[in-house]
């Protein structure tokens, strides 16, 4: 006779959320899975929009997070079990989107039939874990009103609500290799957070229109208001004086470009919603950069002297007037490896001086199974300007030389790609597989938690540890 274990079912409640002076409003619930879905611990299963409404007679002043028009909270199950979705939480249509409900600590969204091995966790199980996401729109027009963190954002971020006393902010200023780690490729930020309940806020800045390479980030950090005014006037004059009439694409591109040039994300501060109340976080504690963003040349403005670099496929978004302005007002300036090292050193020192943030740099994959080079004789010297893998090796070595001059951490893409197999996990040298992203995230976790030494060799040590554990 088979004994059927009794099922323990618990209600999943919203839990506390406080913003002094405000009523917290929420929308209906958008479910990301079906009723009956088997959930992992920490799995994000639903989300809703939220907003802050001032209490009566307190309706003046600036709202917190007023510049972040996307503000949502995702709900994660606290332990494993089968989800039973309560009816009536999702009225549908626009009624699901608007903040018609007041946040109530004891509101029950669903029930969870706990897996037998989870029943010992009942004491902590009843509350949904809350993952907040916020997006600052590139333009107020970019109001896609469907989905999780939808739209076009100049900055997006996420944080767990219940760890905010010691929240550590990681700012992603990389290109695709970094974006995939931090923002993920499935649902924004979820892949990173499902792997960690740690007290981290992630902030993502897109790699367009500007590539976040060292000279551009440094200039953003040091730019004065007078500099910004001169740049804005020059862009306006460039478009207005263009022989080709500026198109809608030109103005949109120029607006996004100006927005990037005028703002340094490194010194941004953040409002945080938590169960204990609204909190203000200072600038990021750690900054993640991509070595792949350091191209062998940048554009330099002939008159104003500032730098520009854009990914080729992004330049296609510009109209003819912007392209003509880029050609006439800028000149390409080659960067040697020493130039790049110098730019990095100045940036790392400036970041340390302005905010004290720790810098982490993703190095580059420097080998390829797709090559069968028997002799370097056919390739033009210097080889780093011809062969990608030589360039990557020299750049990776440069990071180690730089470590003698200033403090930062290397996230060792090169070692992990070699370990996992580049052909399968990094087929074009920049876009990682999910398995590779998970290993790189683990390195980042270890460094920001301080469990890996903040030396440039830390990545190798950590990889060795993971390899020895997995073999």
Q: How far is the CB of 428 from other proteins (least distance, A)?
A: 4
Binding mask 275-294 for other proteins (x = CB under 8 A): --------------------
Q: Which helix (H) or strand (E) holds 304?
A: none
Assess contact for 163 and 198: CB atoms under 8 A. Answer: yes
For other proteins, which is the closer residue by CB, 296 or 457?
Answer: 296
SS (H, E, C) 174-224: CCHHHHHHHCCCCCCCHHHHHCCCCCEEEEECCCCCCCCCHHHHHHHHHCC
Instruction: Round to whole Å and give the CA distance between 98 and 49.
Output: 7
Binders of other proteins among residues 308 to 327 (CB under 8 A) are: 311-313, 316
* Distances 316 to 209, 266, 405 between C-alpha atoms, Å: 11, 28, 38
Assess contact for 108 and 12: CB atoms under 8 A. Answer: yes
Q: Which two tokens stand for residue 25?
A: 């409003």
Stretch near other proteins under the rule CB under 8 A, chosen from 77-85, 382-390, 393-401, 410-418: 382-390
Residue 368 in contact with other proteins, rule: CB under 8 A: yes
Residue 176 in contact with other proteins, rule: CB under 8 A: yes
Q: How far is the CB of 441 from other proteins (least distance, A)?
A: 19
Q: How far is the CB of 138 from other proteins (least distance, A)?
A: 17
Stretch near other proteins under the rule CB under 8 A, chosen from 3-11, 12-20, 383-391, 448-456: 383-391
Q: Which two tokens stand for residue 34?
A: 């079906």
Instruction: Round to whole Å and give the CA distance between 413 and 297.
Output: 23
Binding mask 431-450 for other proteins (x = CB under 8 A): x-------------------
Q: Which helix (H) or strand (E) holds 360?
A: strand 358-362
Instruction: Round to whole Å and give the CA distance between 463 and 201.
Output: 24
- Give the distance from CA 354 to its chain's centroid: 21
Residue 386 in contact with other proteins, rule: CB under 8 A: yes
Assess contact for 376 and 386: CB atoms under 8 A. Answer: no
Instruction: Round to whole Å and give the CA distance between 76 and 286.
Output: 26
Closest listed residue to residue 233, CA positions, set 260, 208, 263, 258: 258
For other proteins, which is the closer residue by CB, 290 or 307?
Answer: 290
* Per rule CB under 8 A, count of chain residues that contact other proteins: 30
For other proteins, which is the closer residue by CB, 154 or 368?
Answer: 368
Q: How far is the CB of 385 from other proteins (least distance, A)?
A: 6
For other proteins, which is the closer residue by CB, 101 or 208?
Answer: 208
For other proteins, which is the closer residue by CB, 144 or 467?
Answer: 144
Interacting residues of 450 by C-beta distance below 8 A, sequence separation 6+: none
Stretch near other proteins under the rule CB under 8 A, chosen from 74-82, 84-92, 162-170, 386-394: 386-394
Q: How far is the CB of 434 from other proteins (least distance, A)?
A: 15
Residue 144 in contact with other proteins, rule: CB under 8 A: no
Q: How far is the CB of 379 from other proteins (least distance, A)?
A: 7
For other proteins, which is the closer residue by CB, 94 or 379?
Answer: 379
For other proteins, which is the closer residue by CB, 267 or 311?
Answer: 311
Q: Which contacts (CB < 8 Å, 24+ apart) does range 31-36 have?
A: 31/85, 31/90, 32/148, 32/187, 33/83, 35/83, 35/84, 35/85, 36/82, 36/83, 36/84
Q: How far is the CB of 75 from other proteins (least distance, A)?
A: 28
For other proteins, which is the closer residue by CB, 32 or 383?
Answer: 383
For other proteins, which is the closer residue by CB, 26 or 432?
Answer: 432
Question: Which of 371, 404, 468, 469 touches other proteins by CB under 8 A?
Answer: 371
Residue 93 in contact with other proteins, rule: CB under 8 A: no
Q: How far is the CB of 371 from other proteins (least distance, A)?
A: 5
Closest listed residue to residue 270, CA positions, set 106, 462, 27, 64: 64
Question: Which of 370, 435, 449, 467 touches other proteins by CB under 8 A?
Answer: 370
> What residue ranges bind other proteins (CB under 8 A)?
175-176, 296, 311-313, 316, 368, 370-375, 377-379, 385-389, 391, 423-424, 427-431
């Amino acid at each position: 006779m088979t004994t059927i274990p009794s099922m323990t079912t618990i209600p999943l409640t919203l839990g506390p959320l406080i913003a002094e002076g405000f009523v917290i409003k929420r929308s209906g619930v958008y479910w990301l899975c079906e009723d009956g879905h088997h959930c992992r611990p920490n799995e994000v299963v639903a989300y809703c929009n939220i907003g802050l409404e001032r209490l009566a007679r307190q309706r003046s002043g600036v709202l917190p997070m007023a510049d972040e028009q996307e503000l949502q909270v995702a709900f994660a199950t606290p332990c494993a079990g089968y989800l039973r979705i309560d009816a009536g939480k999702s009225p549908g249509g626009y009624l699901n989107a608007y903040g018609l409900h007041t946040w109530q600590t004891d509101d029950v969204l669903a029930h969870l039939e706990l897996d037998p091995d989870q029943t010992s966790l009942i004491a902590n199980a009843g509350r949904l874990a809350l993952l907040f996401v916020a997006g600052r729109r590139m333009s107020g027009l970019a109001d896609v009103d469907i989905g999780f963190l939808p739209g076009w954002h100049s900055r997006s971020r996420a944080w767990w609500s219940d760890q905010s006393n010691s929240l550590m902010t990681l700012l992603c200023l990389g290109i695709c290799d970094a974006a995939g780690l931090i923002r993920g490729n499935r649902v924004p930020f979820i892949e990173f957070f499902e792997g960690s309940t740690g007290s981290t806020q992630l902030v993502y800045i897109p790699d367009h229109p500007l590539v976040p390479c060292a000279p551009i980030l440094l200039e953003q950090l040091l730019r004065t208001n007078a500099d910004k005014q001169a740049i804005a006037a020059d862009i306006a004059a460039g478009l207005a004086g263009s022989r080709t009439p500026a198109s809608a694409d030109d103005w949109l591109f120029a607006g996004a470009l100006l927005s990037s040039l005028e703002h340094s994300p490194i010194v941004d501060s953040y409002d945080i919603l938590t169960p204990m109340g609204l909190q203000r976080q200072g600038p990021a504690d750690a900054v993640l950069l991509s070595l792949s963003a350091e191209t062998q040349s940048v554009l330099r403005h002939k008159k104003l002297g500032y730098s520009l670099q854009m990914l080729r496929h992004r330049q296609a978004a510009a109209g003819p007037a912007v392209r003509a302005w880029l050609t006439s007002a800028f000149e390409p300036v080659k960067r040697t490896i020493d130039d790049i090292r110098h730019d990095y050193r100045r940036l790392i020192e400036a970041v340390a001086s302005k905010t004290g943030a720790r810098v982490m740099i993703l190095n580059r994959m420097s080998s390829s199974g797709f090559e069968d080079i028997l002799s370097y004789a056919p390739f033009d010297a210097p080889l780093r300007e011809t062969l990608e893998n030589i360039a990557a090796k020299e750049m990776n070595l440069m990071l180690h030389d730089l470590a003698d001059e200033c403090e930062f951490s290397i996230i060792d893409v090169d070692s992990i790609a070699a370990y996992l197999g580049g052909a399968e996990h990094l087929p074009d040298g920049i876009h990682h597989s999910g398995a590779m992203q998970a290993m790189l995230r683990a390195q980042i976790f270890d460094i920001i938690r301080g469990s890996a030494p903040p030396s440039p060799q830390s990545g190798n040590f950590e990889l060795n540890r993971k390899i020895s554990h997995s073999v």
